């Protein structure tokens, strides 16, 4: 039944509004953009909204409704859910806030909602959530207008978030970085559908090859571990835990009403289940980027290629810190690269191509590192400010990386000129990172998944 | 004499070139842009370069030369330095590579250079370096053209870097983030002028109020500690150490020929001297940004203001992790803020103004947090995707933060719409950070410097 949230034939938007400042309008407008099925606005006060015939009640819709989106105030939302269930609607998304997170009356409302769900066998996402985005079907209950929040392109990542604000900001970030999303669910107060239902669903979902989970407090630790264990054998799951500290946990309790529990136990459970914990938001972004763009690595031996000596030193440190090894370049590679270098220049990993490096020097170094049987991953840090290296360096790296079966990861620091080069690399599918450490931590994730897949 | 590197009355560029692809041309062109003194190109093969009369030798220049920049090949660079010294030039920057870093012949050349320096009482920056930038005087030996590397505006930061590539990338980053620079020195092989000379000089330099040091291996640990101890009492010093691991240290040895030494000892020495160690490049950027934009904090009690519940939870975690405390808001603040919030909404730190927050709600929360005697630092995380909050939020925050004597730090995640808001804040002097943890670590630095200054 979870399927109906993502691929409904039609949708009823209950609480649809003609007022463009209201969520009930924003959601309708966003559905109209990409949703392929029929849209039924429901509002007793209107005859027509945004050019669509408006219904007094979900009961007046002749066709069987697959998905209902509820945007009416909490005090009448439960009644609406009951009506949906009378019409055999099996999937309901309740955007409305004013439930458990808002105090004692809200708790009563939410308990009543749960009773309806149990009795009527309807599945509910929410309440107090931002709902669902499916880039393929066009289901889009995110009320943020397109001018404020880009929608990501179609892709293989499914995102599960207990926080709506965090989740939408994350997929807005994905859109900006051209990282494709399959499905997104913000489940808010989790009166019914929670992280386990969704992990199990995405585990079997052929279009999902990476799952992202933002969680404050799991509904049931044991169930979460089971769901993760089953899933991580097939596809990576990256988890960001919020509410790690006592103060954070207290904030989580008043945010989504969930119990954060002990972070230490959570963290070791994640390890046990084969899930990747992102300890910081930067890690979440970086791990998402690298896993969405590259295949896992077959080993942990990294070749570092740079034309900035300082970057070489920082990258070597970062490589060791991240738990990777510096590759011992083969004699053949060293000999070949030596030929392209000025006399007396040392050739060893990290490969310092020196400040006057040309594209040709990069080409020789990269091609040899990729060919070298002692190398599993290649990390390139470009110093673009030297005059011998023009912006064609991006094209050179792209052409070589495209043919490589080994992961090639890039980075650089600087303003517009450098950024344009990094952007060209990103647009060609090469992940770039702003610092050597972030590049190496991302490389480590590729190595970890290589181990899991027994490459 | 160090002063002559930054404020020379004139400069001789020895190895100046008419060929626009050569460093000797790039440097001349960059001097012409902003240097206020007289420029003397020296090249025996040319009569005129870039419209300036060219001299056969530094000896032919009639005026006494204050600063010489040497761009000739290493094999004749020492001879040129001797000539400079014959003409009583007291400051020489040797850009040329091919010294100690390049093997045994280079070591002989460098030892010979050191002998000249000792005998002739001339001061040398380099060799194998990018040299000096002074945003006030226009001294600019950085050979990167303006199209590739922005020059930062005038400001209070002085940067000392053992790596030219790293140093230039860092100040390019400063330029992009509108962070002002006073002086920059890349000292390369450090045949003479090193980090201690420069720290001691910047310590007394009235225009320098923050010193950044990138170091692979200190010349003399004891001297460095003395220099830092004397300086950090007066102004902050941020240190990034490269060559922490054995592999990194080996890379450093072949990069600038320096001995990296034990990182643990280095790190504890930094603490002892009151210097701030940036453990990562992100920390270096973030600490530089926050110290360049805000005054130190009087205490460690942070008020978190957000309209994204998830951000509140993440920020509370980050606050504790960074070693700060969540402020206990006064009864007066809580009462005032409660009035601006929807009924039933909880008012406690982190302040979750909820997804439908307006500018007005932010205004009330911010003003009260800043006024609150229990609060030392305010951290604001904006979720800009909700429809009730328009882009005017930047103006609201700016107006309040400008009047605040307490530090106000902001952050947010998202694509263009969110970025425009963050950019407006940055341009108004409010530092912004991409994640709650990075914002809190930056806040912690303000608290640390408040303690040092006994605020």
Over range B8-33, report the average pLDDT: 96
Give the gap in angstroms from C-alpha B226 to the nearest C-alpha of chain A.
25
Average pLDDT, rounded, for chain B: 95
> Which of chain B's residues have a Cβ under 8 Å away from the Cβ of A314?
166, 242, 248, 281
**Cβ–Cβ below 8 Å for B317 and A244:** yes
What pLDDT is stored for residue B253 in this prediction? Answer: 80
Over range A394-406, report the average pLDDT: 97
Is the pLDDT at B116 greater than 70? The verdict is yes
Report the C-alpha dihedral over residues A23, A25, A27, A31, rounded to 10 degrees: 180
Give the gap in angstroms from C-alpha A412 to the nearest C-alpha of chain B.
8
Q: Which residues pair with A381 in a beta bridge?
A: A306, A411
> Which of chain A's residues have a Cβ under 8 Å away from the Cβ of B166?
308, 310-311, 314, 413
Over range B153-172, report the average pLDDT: 96
Greater pLDDT, B251 or A326: A326
What pLDDT is stored for residue A345 in this prediction? Answer: 83
Query: What's the complex ipTM?
Result: 0.94
**Cβ–Cβ below 8 Å for B310 and A168:** no
Over range A294-307, report the average pLDDT: 97
> Which of chain A's residues have a Cβ under 8 Å away from the Cβ of B413?
169-170, 172-173, 281
Is the pLDDT at B257 greater than 70? The verdict is no
In the 3-class helix/strand/coil scheme, how is chain B assigned residue by residue?
Answer: CCHHHHCCCEEEEECCCCCCCCHHHHHHHHHHHHCCCEEEEECCCCCEECCEECECCHHHCCCCCCEEEECCCHHHHHHHHHHHHHCCCCEEEECCCCCHHHCHHHHHHHHHHHHHHHHHCCEEECCCCCEEEECCCCCECCCCCCCCCCCCCEEEEEEEECCHHHHHHHHHHHHHCCCCEEEEEECCCCCCCCHHHHHHHHHHCCCCCEEEEEECCCCCHHHHHHHHHHHHCCCCEEEEECCCCHHHHHHHHHHHCCCCCCHHHHHHHHHHCCCEECCCHHHHHHHHHHHHHCCCCCCCEEEEEECCHHHHHHHHHHHHHCCCEECCCCHHHHHHHHHHCCCCCCCCCCEECCCCCCHHHHHHHHHHHHHCCCCCEEEEECCCCCCCCCCCHHHHHHHHHHHCCCCEEEECCCCHHHHHHHHHHHHCCCCEECCHHHHHHHHHHHHHHHHHCCC
> Which of chain A's residues have a Cβ under 8 Å away from the Cβ of B216?
310, 313
B280, closest residue in chain A (CA to CA):
A437
List, in order of start, the domains of chain A with CATH numbers: 1-129 (3.40.50.720), 149-293 (3.40.50.261), 295-452 (3.40.50.261)
- A72-100 pLDDT, tens digit per residue, is 999 999 999 999 999 999 999 999 999 99
What pLDDT is stored for residue A250 in this prediction? Answer: 87
**Cβ–Cβ below 8 Å for A106 and B344:** yes
Yes or no: say if B100 and B65 are a contact pair by the CB < 8 Å rule: no
What pLDDT is stored for residue B355 in this prediction? Answer: 87
What pLDDT is stored for residue B260 in this prediction? Answer: 67
> Which of chain B's residues have a Cβ under 8 Å away from the Cβ of A102?
344-345
Report the C-alpha dihedral over residues A277, A280, A286, A291, rounded to 10 degrees: 10
- Measured between CB atoms, which of A255, A309, A344 is closest to B103? A344
- B324-362 pLDDT, tens digit per residue, is 999 999 999 999 999 999 887 889 999 999 988 999 999
Nearest CA among B43, B94, B40, B50 for reference residue B69: B94
**Cβ–Cβ below 8 Å for A173 and B106:** no
**Cβ–Cβ below 8 Å for B344 and A102:** yes
> Which of chain B's residues have a Cβ under 8 Å away from the Cβ of A168?
383, 385
To which H or E segment does residue A29 belong?
Answer: helix A23-34
Is the pLDDT at A314 greater than 80? The verdict is yes
Best mutation target, A245, A317, A334, to test chain B (most B CBs within 10 A): A317
Over range A163-169, report the average pLDDT: 94
Is the pLDDT at A348 greater than 90? The verdict is yes
> Which of chain A's residues have a Cβ under 8 Å away from the Cβ of B434?
281-282
What pLDDT is stored for residue A260 in this prediction? Answer: 67
A241, closest residue in chain B (CA to CA):
B314
A384, closest residue in chain B (CA to CA):
B148
Give the gap in angstroms from C-alpha B405 to the nearest C-alpha of chain A.
26
- A95-148 pLDDT, tens digit per residue, is 999 999 888 899 999 999 999 999 998 999 999 999 999 999 999 999 999 999
- B268-300 pLDDT, tens digit per residue, is 999 999 999 999 999 999 999 999 999 999 999
**Cβ–Cβ below 8 Å for B164 and A355:** yes
Least-confidence region, from A249-258, A318-327, B49-58, B70-79: A249-258
What pLDDT is stored for residue A54 in this prediction? Answer: 98
What pLDDT is stored for residue A26 in this prediction? Answer: 95
Share of chain B above pLDDT 70, in %: 99
Greater pLDDT, B49 or A249: B49
Nearest CA among A73, A215, A304, A87 for reference residue B342: A73
- Measured between CB atoms, which of A144, A313, A387 is closest to B242? A313
> Which of chain A's residues have a Cβ under 8 Å away from the Cβ of B164?
308-310, 355
- B233-242 pLDDT, tens digit per residue, is 999 999 999 9
What pLDDT is stored for residue B452 in this prediction? Answer: 80
Place of tokens 């992990």: A199
Over range B121-141, report the average pLDDT: 96
The CA distance from A436 to A316, in Å, is 9
What pLDDT is stored for residue A257 in this prediction? Answer: 67
Is the pLDDT at B455 greater than 70? The verdict is no
> Which of chain B's residues have a Cβ under 8 Å away from the Cβ of A175?
415
A421, closest residue in chain B (CA to CA):
B148
- Measured between CB atoms, which of B172, B416, B418 is closest to A385? B172
Is the pLDDT at A8 greater than 80? The verdict is yes
Q: Is B163 exposed, middle or buried (0-12, 13-18, 19+ CB in 10 A)?
A: buried
What pLDDT is stored for residue A455 in this prediction? Answer: 65
What pLDDT is stored for residue A104 in this prediction? Answer: 87
**Cβ–Cβ below 8 Å for B352 and A214:** no
Over range A340-354, report the average pLDDT: 90
What pLDDT is stored for residue A276 in this prediction? Answer: 96
Best mutation target, A105, A107, A165, A440, to test chain B (most B CBs within 10 A): A165
Give the gap in angstroms from C-alpha B59 to the nearest C-alpha of chain A.
30
**Cβ–Cβ below 8 Å for A169 and B281:** no
Give the gap in angstroms from C-alpha A311 to the nearest C-alpha of chain B.
7
What pLDDT is stored for residue A202 in this prediction? Answer: 98
What pLDDT is stored for residue A373 in this prediction? Answer: 98
A100, closest residue in chain B (CA to CA):
B344
Give the gap in angstroms from C-alpha A63 to the nearest C-alpha of chain B.
32
């Amino acid at each position: 039944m979870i399927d109906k949230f993502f691929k409904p034939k039609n949708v009823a938007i209950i609480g649809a509004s003609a007022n463009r400042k209201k969520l009930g309008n924003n959601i309708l407008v966003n559905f109209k953009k990409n949703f392929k099925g029929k849209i039924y606005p429901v509002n007793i006060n209107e005859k027509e909204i945004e050019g669509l015939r408006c219904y007094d009640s979900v009961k007046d819709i002749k066709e069987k409704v697959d998905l209902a989106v509820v945007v009416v105030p909490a005090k009448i939302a439960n009644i609406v859910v009951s009506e949906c269930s009378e019409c055999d609607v099996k999937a309901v998304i309740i955007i409305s806030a004013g439930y458990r997170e808002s105090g004692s009356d809200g708790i009563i409302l939410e308990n009543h909602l749960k009773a309806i769900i149990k009795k009527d066998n309807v599945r509910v996402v929410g309440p107090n959530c931002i709902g669902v985005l499916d880039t393929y079907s066009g289901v889009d209950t995110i009320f943020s207008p397109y001018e404020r929040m880009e929608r990501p392109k179609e892709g293989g990542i499914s995102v599960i978030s207990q926080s709506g604000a965090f989740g939408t900001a994350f997929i807005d970030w994905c859109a900006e970085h051209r990282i494709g999303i399959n499905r997104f669910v913000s489940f808010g107060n989790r009166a019914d559908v929670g992280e386990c239902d969704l992990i199990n669903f995405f585990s079997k979902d052929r279009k999902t090859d990476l799952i992202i989970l933002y969680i404050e407090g799991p509904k049931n630790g044991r169930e979460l571990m089971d769901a993760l264990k089953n899933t991580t054998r097939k596809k990576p799951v990256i988890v960001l835990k919020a509410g790690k500290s006592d103060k954070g946990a207290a904030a989580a309790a008043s945010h989504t009403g969930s119990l954060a529990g002990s972070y230490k136990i959570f963290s070791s459970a994640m390890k046990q289940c084969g899930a990747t914990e992102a300890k910081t938001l930067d890690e979440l972004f970086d791990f998402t980027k690298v896993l969405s763009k590259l295949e896992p690595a077959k080993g942990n031996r990294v070749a570092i290629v740079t034309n900035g000596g300082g970057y070489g030193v920082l990258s070597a440190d970062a490589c060791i810190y991240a738990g990777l090894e510096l590759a011992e370049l083969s004699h053949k590679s060293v000999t070949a690269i030596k030929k392209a270098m000025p006399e007396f220049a040392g050739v060893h990993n990290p490969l310092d191509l020196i400040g006057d490096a040309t594209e040709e020097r990069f080409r020789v170094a990269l091609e040899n590192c990729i060919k070298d049987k002692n190398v599993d991953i290649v990390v390139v840090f470009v110093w673009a400010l030297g005059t011998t290296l023009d912006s064609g360096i991006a094209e050179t790296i792209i052409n070589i990386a495209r043919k490589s079966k080994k992961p090639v990861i890039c980075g650089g620091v600087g303003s517009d000129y450098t950024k344009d080069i990094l952007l060209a690399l990103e647009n060609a599918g090469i992940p770039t990172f702003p610092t050597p450490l972030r590049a190496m931590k991302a490389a480590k994730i590729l190595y970890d998944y290589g181990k899991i897949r027994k490459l």
